[in-house]
Chain A
Amino acid sequence: MADWQIDLIKVVFIWVWALLIAVVMTWVERRASAMMQDRLGPNRAGPFGLLQPLADGIKLFTKEDIIPERARKILFILGPPLFALPAFSAYAVVPFGDKIVLGGKEIILQVSDVNIGFLYVLALGAIGVYGMVIGGWASNSKYSILGGLRATAQLISYEVPMGLALLTIVLLYGTFSLREIVLQQQGTFLGFLPNWGFFKQPLGFIIFMVAAYAEANRVPFDLPECESELVTGYHTEYGSMRLGLYLFGEYVNMGTLAAITVSLFFGGWGLPYVDMSRFLGPVSYGIASFFVFFLKQAFFLFLFVWVRWTVPRFRYDQLMGLGWKALIPLGLINLFITALLVQLTT
């Protein structure tokens, strides 16, 4: 197989996988929330209601597409894809497994090992929010504008602490490449702790997680679409598949963030204490590493759902307060201490 063919297969695989996760997550969200709330949840379409996302998709596709008369048409159309696509693109640098040997050829399980993978993820995360802001503004509805406004404020407030938390990881591992970072997290340190970012950067992890929830636009930070105040915020005026893209993009986004969390803080595809490559064949090792990665990602995806149905929502000013008064100073202190330690120990 030529290199470009392998690349194509990887792209298609990761794309389908991201899509599948998002689809299944909409089902998990509804079933898990039902489980937490003493309800049944959707259980009619297919076994355990597993076909529910499909039914929803068909419904959204066949709905009438309405563009409000006074909306700015081009931007209105541009909004949803701008929101959903960057989330997909971010998957490109996620190392979803170690490597697999097929036909004597070693294939790295990552679409592309960009040496600035890190910045790429951050940049795409920032672009995704423009989808919300543009959608909100283009709708020409006051609720949408308020939602867009909140999204803007949230973007500015939470990109900074997220960047600060990620910088500590860069300092620690001395690279921007996600694959390199994951490779460095294998093994143990201090004799017993897994060499994970989480154990080396607990504060950084907490800051990153909070920022990730804000970035994913989930409770307790779902202010831009806060259904009780702003009807549905930035996508109030949207319908049919345009709305579907917004809703769907959120789950893709969650998948990306969970994948990034696993790669940066939880050792990616590696199992702690166990070196799978020793006793597994080259093919089965590749598959096993992928499944380990997937399980870790699934846990963080479920965490998103769990948190959503547990806590109430922040108020706009409290959200800003948390971002600027708590997370950014903490992030700065954390960065300073990490820099100092790295300087002293190397």
Chain B
Amino acid sequence: MAKQLETICITTGPVEVGDYVTLNIGPIHPAMHGTLRVITKTDGETIVSAKPEIGYLHRGVEKLGENLTYSQFLPITDRLNYCSAICNNVAYEMAVEKLLGLQVPPKAQLIRMIMMELARIADHQVCVGILGVDLGALTPFFYLIIQREEIYEIFEWHHGARLTNSMGAIGGVEADLPERFHEKWPKLRDTIRKANDETDKLLTHNRIWMDRTIGVNAFCADDALNWGFTGPMLRACGVKRDLRKEEPYLMYDEVNFEIPTGKHGDVFDRYMVRMLEMEESVKIIDQAYALYKELPEDAPLMKKVPKIIKPPEGQIYHAIESPNGELGFFIKSDGSDKPYRIKIRPPCYMVYQAFEDLVKGEMISDLIACLSSLNVIAGELDR
């Protein structure tokens, strides 16, 4: 603090005023999604500085990985981005498979794709819904969350869990698409679209919504790249980068989809990018499902892997496009049954670094809007 702080007595206790008021937002605060904490200095309602403090949900995930076998680590990855646990699972499985030099059977690849895109829709639904809640529009949240429940239903049929999925295994997936999926999907596709449509009608062209989001913490593409932004945040700034197109994995090169981009990187663009991506995901699932249908029913789901996986010595980095951006796993193996080191590159971490830059000079309400539009997930951030 540059100047000496004076204190005045507002009621009985001293409240710091001096130049600015320090306002501590989080880790326990209704608008903080997870245990995030921001220490802000405000001049009236304008934010002068906002220092994010992280680590409230640090569980030592990476260190845990060093003491667990490759298969045992899989359930831990659920607890990274718990809004789309499947993407974490698949990212980890694929990293290990890459280390082993395994090629997963096509049917497993397609099931993974379908499940991942469903998870992406669920994740975006939560993000958009929460953004609405934080800006005072509660209703769209319910329209979206009801659809998310339906998606979770599919997850439950497939691998038994709704939130912490632990889907698949190293070498493929354990189960075929559930019987009920074939009936469910055409209906679900329509209801997802309908919910998105209703949200769009309630929010996108609403004058208050536009005032609250357009131009709010706009970010330019250069800065975004310098900070290491990925995913919807980067695409909202106008950079057309999506790992599904840039470095296609699974069978993403066999399906057609667009990469929606924004222009100004403001809250509105992030919202729009997420809304449009949901539609693209629906298209991807449709195409992947069509490809899946072409495969024979008894096509293999798993590649044969030994009970105890012992990858050869070496190190690998593999990243996928998770709903929040590039989710990478770095694994160094020393040839034993446990990884020597696991390093996770969560997309949130890079985005959250820039938080102060994003919100400086904006108002307290914008800080909340910014935070929910970034979709910072504490589990992924702190690991």
A residues lining the B interface (CB < 8 Å)? 33, 36-39, 70-72, 137-138, 140, 142-143, 145-146, 219-220, 222, 226-231, 309-318
Contact = CB atoms under 8 A, between A and B. Distances in A.
Contacts, number: 99
Interface in B131-156: 132-139, 142-143, 146
Contact of B136 (A39, A137, A143, A219): A219
A310 B202 contact: yes
A180 B11 CA distance: 46
Nearest to B31: A228
Main secondary structure of the interface of A (DSSP, over half): loop
A229 B212 contact: no
Contact of B139 (A36, A71, A138, A229): A36
12 contacts: A38-B142, A70-B11, A138-B11, A140-B11, A140-B13, A142-B23, A222-B136, A228-B136, A311-B136, A314-B208, A314-B212, A318-B212
B363 A38 contact: no
A312 B206 contact: yes
Nearest to B44: A149
Q: Which 6 residue pairs across A and B have the least CB separation, nearest first?
A: A313-B136, A37-B142, A312-B137, A70-B13, A140-B11, A312-B135
A229 B138 contact: no
Given A140-B13, A312-B203, A317 B363 contact: yes
B45 interface: yes
Interface in B14-57: 15, 21, 23, 29-31, 45
A71 B11 contact: yes
Contacts of B143: 37-38
Interface stretch (B276-284, B334-342, B364-372): B364-372
Given A72-B11, A140-B13, A38 B146 contact: yes
Contacts of A36: 139
A314 B45 contact: no
Contacts of A220: 136, 208
B10 A146 contact: no
B78 to A, nearest CB: 28
B136 A309 contact: no
Interface in B195-239: 202-203, 206, 208-209, 211-212
B136 A231 contact: no
A226 B139 contact: no
A229 B209 contact: no
A217 to B, nearest CB: 13
A227 B365 contact: no
A36 B138 CA distance: 10
A227 B30 contact: yes
Residue among B30, B133, B203 facing the most chain A CB atoms (10 A cut-off): B30
Interface residues of B, number: 35
Contacts of A70: 11-13
A311 to B, nearest CB: 5
A227 B12 CA distance: 26
B208 to A, nearest CB: 5
Interface of B: 10-13, 15, 21, 23, 29-31, 45, 132-139, 142-143, 146, 202-203, 206, 208-209, 211-212, 363-368
Contacts of A311: 136-137, 206, 208-209
Contacts of B368: 228-229
Residue among A140, A230, A310, A312 facing the most chain B CB atoms (10 A cut-off): A312
A72 to B, nearest CB: 4
Given A72-B12, A142-B21, A228-B136, 9 more contacts: A36-B139, A71-B11, A228-B31, A228-B134, A228-B135, A229-B364, A313-B212, A316-B363, A318-B212
A312 B45 contact: no
A314 B45 CA distance: 14
Contact of A231 (B13, B30, B202): B30
Contacts of A71: 11-12
A270 B209 CA distance: 38
A39 B11 contact: no
Nearest to B142: A37
Contact of B209 (A143, A228, A312): A312
Given A140-B12, A231-B30, A312 B132 contact: yes
A70 B10 CA distance: 10
A312 B364 contact: no
Nearest to A316: B45
A143 B136 CA distance: 17
A311 B205 CA distance: 11
Contacts of B206: 311-312
B15 A142 contact: yes
Residue among A140, A229, A309 facing the most chain B CB atoms (10 A cut-off): A229
Contacts of B208: 220, 311-314, 318
Contacts of A222: 136
A71 B365 CA distance: 26
A316 B365 contact: yes
B363 A315 contact: yes
A315 B210 CA distance: 11
Contacts of A145: 10, 15
Given A39-B142, A227-B30, A312 B11 contact: no
A161 B138 CA distance: 28
Contacts of A39: 142
Given A228-B134, A309-B139, A314-B208, A137 B363 contact: no
Nearest to B25: A229
A318 B136 contact: no
Nearest to B365: A315
A226 B11 contact: no
Contacts of B139: 33, 36-37, 309-310
